[in-house]
Structure 1
Amino acid sequence: MSDVRRIDPNVVAGLIMSVLCGVLAVPVALEQAAGAASPLGPPWLWWVAYAAFLVALVVGGWLDEVVGVTATRALLALMVVAAAALVLIGAPFGWLPIFLVVTAAISTYHLPGRVTAAIVVVNVGVAAVATLIAGDSVQVAAVTGAIYLLLQSASVLLLVTLHREEASRRRLAAAHAELAAAGAALAETSRTQERLRISRELHDLVGHQLTALALELEIATHTGADPGGHVARARTLAGDLLTDVRTTVGQLRGRAPDLAATLERIAGQLPRPVVHVYVADGVAADEERTLAVVRCVQEILTNAIRHCDADTVWIDLSPVPGGGLRLSARDDGRGPAADVVPGNGLRGLAERAEAFGGSVDWGPAAPRGFVVTAVLP
């Protein structure tokens, strides 16, 4: 399986916006140095607002998972205020309203749609007022507001579409994981039913005939019909054949499914995340435990897709001293929140393990991600 990771469009968009915000300050510095133009009021005030904007952009935009939702929204509010200050104080620089477009675009990641719409409206007013401060007419200010209304609306709608497409992709991947697990479980059930059918046929047909043969030979031995010992040897042979058939039937009924191959099939059918499966030597599972492991892996992959946005998942199966197996799964996703509330998936894992007298533990992985460990005695 390939380890090539898909480049996240959100990361690309974030890099472009960050670079753009850094580039916008360069012409301001050059024109200030040349004396061609200068912000309104003390020049240092514009640079203080710019520094506040960059800090809010980096911390709230790139470290939002670290600082949490509340801090991220506070930093976004700081971005809105700082962007407005940059545009109003820097009214002589006509390209600065691009900061407003960036702010509206970033708000789509962390705020409801109605709040983003309010930010767009406020930014349109800021752009129009900055045009008036620069000495342009009302008509020019109206056109400027309309232009930035369209620019903000286009960027917001594009990112909303990107978010929806990403959510659809996650739902599709989760459904694919569930379908792959269901297919693997159905395949194992079909093979088990076929083995049981073959064992019944062997037992009912060949076993019955061999039993009748042994009975006939036993009668012939007692009647003295074969003084040369051929009947005795035939009786022994028939008994051995009957024993072999019974042994074969027992093996067919008790043969454990190939757990490693089953999990590899599930992993190989997922486009994302990349799943690495390792099954240690000595791991053995009957049909019931194989089905339980398959369902547990299904829940783990579904959680990694829906809630963690993981790119890679590692699944390890190892034997437990005294019998049984240990399932350990780790991903490189966002990781859990500070207070993990078990959903249906995690509760389902616990219930499956408890059905075999086992247990399930979960929590954050280091340096990031989520780890689940299940023990099936």
Structure 2
Amino acid sequence: MVPARRARWTTQRKLAWASIACADVPAIIVLLESTLTDFAGPTLPWVWWSAFVLFILTLMLVHGILPRSNRVPVNALLVALIALAVTLVAFYPEQGWNALLFVVTAAAISFFWDLRTVIVVAAAQTATVGAMFASAGWPLADVLMGIFAYANFQAFGVLIVFALRSEAHARSELAVTNAELRSTAALLEMTSREAERLRIARDLHDLAGHHLTALSLELEVLMHLVREGAEREHVEKARRIARDLLASVGVAVSEMREAPNSIEPALRSLTDQIAALDVSILVHENEPIRDEHAVIVIRCVQEAITNSMRHSDATRLDVVVDAEARGIRVSIVDDGSGSADVVRGNGLNGMAERFEGVGGTLEVGSPAGGGFRIVGTIPLIVQPPAARQSADASP
């Protein structure tokens, strides 16, 4: 079993906590103003503080610090985050630090939306800053200064987040390529071990077996040439030893040809040094897995890892392989956002074709509450697809 690694300090997690720290600045200032100065504070304080708590909770849902169901789209949360920021600034425009919340929303949407949409939203938020400051009676110079400052703050945050996105994407693609290379290396290693084992078995059979057979024949001839006595007894003993040794070589050759490779070392090497996911692997090989089935399992796990890193915000992937007398079952589950409508791409279609080619099945889906699940089965008795179709067509 490969133990799962600890949760990672990911780029998104860093951004989440930095955003929360930035959003806390206006709240701390408002709290200090309300308790230590003569400022009245926000209009309807309970509304402002309720909106602030909702803002923080929404921010944590957006970045995955709090669990989010796949029924709640992240885009809806981002729109709600922007609306809450506007509400907080509108209820207390006299405090200029509240506009820092727009910097937080600009950074949050930059992690999910394209650059053109982010620019439009940032421009609208900058205009909102100007309108709110003007409505609060700020001098024109201060209004213009606030517009300029918060426009630049938002631009800085957007550029930083897009740079982080680019770096994270590059790391993800590198991890995917590395996983694919490790999968190929694991399969090559299994094939090499199998080829080496078969070569040794053939050499034992062809060389040692041949010479032991010749030795037994020579001793058989010698038995007829040696008269009764101690010499004949020693020749008979040597003939029995040669015959027993020949039988032992035959058994060893048969065992070497039939000995299966364990799939766990190959899966272990496949998941080593994958920083993008915490991968847990559990293998129960109560029955040996044939090489052609091992290839299917390894390719299935590799494709699942690739899909999780490319198309999901999963942080954990659990793989369970059960090889029983009735067949092989592979279960792969991640903790990503999932999808209510699963569309099979080339990777999943190729995976299904591998299982169906040996008489198995592949089921994919997204359970309630998020995540993505893949279950592949390979029966013990394989029936070719053509034979199954003929059987289904017959009355």
Q: TM-score range by the shorter chain?
A: 0.7 to 0.9
Deviation at residue 281 of structure 1 after TM alignment: 5.2
Deviation at residue 107 of structure 1 after TM alignment: 1.8
Separation (CA, whole Å) in 1 of partners of 2:172 and 2:311 = 9
2:315 to 307, 311, 317: 311
2:204 to 199, 202, 213: 202
- Could you tell me which amino acid in structure 2 is paired with residue 115 of structure 1? T
- For the Cα contact (< 8 Å) 2:286–2:324, is it kept in 1? no
Separation (CA, whole Å) in 2 of partners of 1:74 and 1:255 = 56
**TM-aligned CA distance change 1:281 to 1:84, over 3 Å:** closer
- For the Cα contact (< 8 Å) 1:317–1:326, is it kept in 2? yes
Q: Residue deviations 1:236-286, cap 9 Å, x none? A: 444333333232222222221122222223233433423332222523112
**What residue number does 1:73 align with?**
75
1:282 to 281, 286, 297: 286
- For the Cα contact (< 8 Å) 1:53–1:78, is it kept in 2? no
2:5 to 3, 6, 27: 3
**Residues paired across the two proteins, number:** 368
- Could you tell me which amino acid in structure 2 is paired with residue 279 of structure 1? V
- For the Cα contact (< 8 Å) 2:355–2:362, is it kept in 1? yes
Alignment partner of 1:170 is 2:172 = yes
1:252 to 251, 256, 259: 256
**What residue number does 2:347 align with?**
345
**TM-aligned CA distance change 1:114 to 1:198, over 3 Å:** same
Separation (CA, whole Å) in 1 of partners of 2:285 and 2:78 = 52
Q: Please give the secondary structure, in 1, of the residue aligned with 2:342.
A: coil
- Could you tell me which amino acid in structure 1 is paired with residue 212 of structure 2? L
- For the Cα contact (< 8 Å) 1:88–1:129, is it kept in 2? no
**What residue number does 1:325 align with?**
328
Separation (CA, whole Å) in 2 of partners of 1:327 and 1:155 = 43
**TM-aligned CA distance change 1:235 to 1:123, over 3 Å:** same
Where do 5+ consecutive residues of structure 2 fail to align? 381-395
Q: Please give the secondary structure, in 1, of the residue aligned with 2:260.
A: coil
- For the Cα contact (< 8 Å) 2:11–2:168, is it kept in 1? no
Q: Please give the secondary structure, in 2, of the residue aligned with 1:284.
A: coil
**What residue number does 1:225 align with?**
225
Q: How does 1:20-31 map to 2 (within 5 A)?
A: 20-21=22-23, 24-25=26-27, 27-28=29-30
Q: Please give the secondary structure, in 1, of the residue aligned with 2:98.
A: coil
- Could you tell me which amino acid in structure 1 is paired with residue 225 of structure 2? A
Deviation at residue 31 of structure 1 after TM alignment: 5.0
Deviation at residue 319 of structure 1 after TM alignment: 2.9
Deviation at residue 180 of structure 1 after TM alignment: 1.7
- Could you tell me which amino acid in structure 2 is paired with residue 299 of structure 1? E
**What residue number does 2:190 align with?**
188
| TM-score normalized with structure 1 length | 0.83
Q: Please give the secondary structure, in 1, of the residue aligned with 2:377.
A: strand
- Could you tell me which amino acid in structure 2 is paired with residue 183 of structure 1? A
Q: Residue deviations 1:304-330, cap 9 Å, x none? A: 3223333333222223334x3222223
Q: How does 1:15-54 map to 2 (within 5 A)?
A: 15-18=17-20, 20-21=22-23, 24-25=26-27, 27-28=29-30, 36-37=39-40, 43-44=43-44, 48=47, 51=50
Q: Please give the secondary structure, in 1, of the residue aligned with 2:330.
A: strand
**TM-aligned CA distance change 1:367 to 1:140, over 3 Å:** closer
Separation (CA, whole Å) in 2 of partners of 1:168 and 1:55 = 34
Which is worse superposed, 204-213 or 48-57? 48-57
Separation (CA, whole Å) in 2 of partners of 1:62 and 1:113 = 22
**What residue number does 1:270 align with?**
274
**What residue number does 2:118 align with?**
116
**TM-aligned CA distance change 1:245 to 1:90, over 3 Å:** same
**RMSD, matched Cα:** 3.2
**TM-aligned CA distance change 1:274 to 1:87, over 3 Å:** closer
- For the Cα contact (< 8 Å) 2:314–2:336, is it kept in 1? yes
- Could you tell me which amino acid in structure 2 is paired with residue 36 of structure 1? F
- Could you tell me which amino acid in structure 2 is paired with residue 5 of structure 1? A
Which is worse superposed, 313-322 or 184-193? 313-322
**What residue number does 2:145 align with?**
143
Separation (CA, whole Å) in 2 of partners of 1:183 and 1:124 = 53
**TM-aligned CA distance change 1:131 to 1:357, over 3 Å:** same
**TM-aligned CA distance change 1:98 to 1:240, over 3 Å:** same
Where do 5+ consecutive residues of structure 1 fail to align? none
**What residue number does 1:358 align with?**
360
Separation (CA, whole Å) in 2 of partners of 1:78 and 1:370 = 26
**TM-aligned CA distance change 1:298 to 1:104, over 3 Å:** same
- For the Cα contact (< 8 Å) 2:362–2:374, is it kept in 1? yes
Identity rate, percent: 32
**What residue number does 2:301 align with?**
297
- For the Cα contact (< 8 Å) 1:361–1:373, is it kept in 2? yes
**TM-aligned CA distance change 1:29 to 1:254, over 3 Å:** closer
- For the Cα contact (< 8 Å) 1:335–1:368, is it kept in 2? yes
- Could you tell me which amino acid in structure 1 is paired with residue 331 of structure 2? S
Deviation at residue 122 of structure 1 after TM alignment: 1.8
- Could you tell me which amino acid in structure 2 is paired with residue 207 of structure 1? G
Deviation at residue 302 of structure 1 after TM alignment: 1.9
Deviation at residue 217 of structure 1 after TM alignment: 4.4
